[in-house]
Structure 1
């Protein structure tokens, strides 16, 4: 009769490290889970446990609006800004990655200038961008006052979501996109391009039919980074958005005025959108890789 192999017992270090990891996961996702649960309370629910019933009451309240704040408009603004940041991040990162494939004069200095944005305090970046656009406002008003006084009354400010706000968020998303593109092209095998060129392809044809299809999943990932970083950004947006706020800024303001679980419902909606974007990204990457394998 064959002997049954003895199951090896786990050492104490395994259980200790497992407990540390479980505590880390709980610390990371516990607050999110608590907000999800509290957002589905009944009409008598409060901001803390225990739960008081189950319903979609607070989501209905969110749909109707929260006081004078138009959550729907803020949501649309954040979506529009996030999509714009996503497209610009992908395009600029791709162009920069292609440029850095060859020796670029001053490329090292330019790279460190771009990456330095990641280590600077976000609020300082926001203040700097806001100050730059306010100085631009002063210059424009001076010019209009001297040469076109009739236009001065209609001018307000260059500060806005798609000017200073867009620029401030790109200082956060572009360095990540550039670092990812460097990693992609460092692993990219140029033999594929050389084979295409040997077959008579032009540089543009080699880029379009060889390079882009191979790096497309990574470009989708960069797009996801760009959108999610823009979607959640507060510090770099706080001083540069002008008269209109994004959804995270509105949410930050609501934390001091709203005392019902409707704010948890808003947090649940924004988190679901973030996960939906990540899920769509993973689906696109999987489909692209399956297509490439085929």
Structure 2
């Protein structure tokens, strides 16, 4: 038999990774299990039967909480942020390829929101809307607050993509008679499309579960994270766990759809012989 040549460092890292996985997925697994409590079940173990009662309760009239409304608001807001993040990040990546006066200052200004506490940004935007006599709402002030979180990540991703992108593809297209727009639409865009899918996924997921930057900017109607937080103080049934399970499955569904899209794009590119 061959001796195990792995040193003690390997086992330390393996133990650390195991603890990390347990810490990450342990609480999530607990919520998923408790979502299937019986009709007379409570918020803690032991389980009092198994049923789908609390999932059905999500679609019934609630004494407290607005599940459907908060979910739809978060979904629409996430899609708005996703689309805006993709478009602006792509345009920024294209603009910074050639450089311009003040580009360095603009870059650091764009990513500075990453180092500012989220609650301060939320408070500042909420106060600004109040000073100018504007009503804070999830589709206006919260939308802007979310973009301060998603755009820096999208811009950084596109910078990395275009730093590795060879201009030879565009030059070859123009040599064959393509205009600048045709070179972009038929050459550049298909190559960077998987990265754009990643930027969109990043934007949606960051917006969908954002709490701090929504707290002072959502106005009168809660998004899903705010609704869940509010429900933790007044909901005493496992319906809260059922809601957590459903939203988690939605998040994994979005991620799965994005990964499937990337795989499909990669498959089409292999058929076309594009590396």
Would the aligned equivalents of 2:66 and 2:227 in 1 still touch at CA under 8 Å?
Answer: no
1:19 and 1:104 map into 2 onto residues whose CA distance is: 49
1:91 and 1:166 map into 2 onto residues whose CA distance is: 15
Would the aligned equivalents of 1:136 and 1:158 in 2 still touch at CA under 8 Å?
Answer: no
1:13 and 1:173 map into 2 onto residues whose CA distance is: 37
Farther-moved stretch of structure 1 (83-92 vs 12-21): 12-21
Q: How does 1:1-294 map to 2 (within 5 A)?
A: 5-8=1-4, 10-137=6-133, 157-294=134-271
Secondary structure at 1:100's aligned position in 2? helix
Q: 1:10 Cα deviation (Å)?
A: 4.4
Farther-moved stretch of structure 1 (13-22 vs 42-51): 13-22
The RMSD of aligned alpha carbons is 1.2
Q: 1:163 Cα deviation (Å)?
A: 1.2
2:6 and 2:143 map into 1 onto residues whose CA distance is: 52
Q: Return the index of the structure with the highest Cα Rg.
A: 1
1:287 and 1:129 map into 2 onto residues whose CA distance is: 40
1:105 and 1:179 map into 2 onto residues whose CA distance is: 19
CA deviation map 1:120-152 (0-9, x unaligned): 100000011111111111xxxxxxxxxxxxxxx
Would the aligned equivalents of 2:64 and 2:231 in 1 still touch at CA under 8 Å?
Answer: no
Q: 1:284 Cα deviation (Å)?
A: 0.1
- Deviating runs (4+, > 2 A) in structure 1? 5-17
Would the aligned equivalents of 1:160 and 1:242 in 2 still touch at CA under 8 Å?
Answer: yes
Farther-moved stretch of structure 1 (8-17 vs 257-266): 8-17
Would the aligned equivalents of 2:41 and 2:48 in 1 still touch at CA under 8 Å?
Answer: yes
Q: 1:8 Cα deviation (Å)?
A: 2.9
Q: 1:60 Cα deviation (Å)?
A: 1.1
1:195 and 1:28 map into 2 onto residues whose CA distance is: 48
Would the aligned equivalents of 2:64 and 2:235 in 1 still touch at CA under 8 Å?
Answer: no
Secondary structure at 1:260's aligned position in 2? coil
1:65 and 1:222 map into 2 onto residues whose CA distance is: 37
Q: 1:66 Cα deviation (Å)?
A: 2.9
2:85 and 2:25 map into 1 onto residues whose CA distance is: 28
1:123 and 1:131 map into 2 onto residues whose CA distance is: 12
Secondary structure at 1:66's aligned position in 2? coil
Normalising to structure 1: TM-score of the pair? 0.89
1:247 and 1:74 map into 2 onto residues whose CA distance is: 5
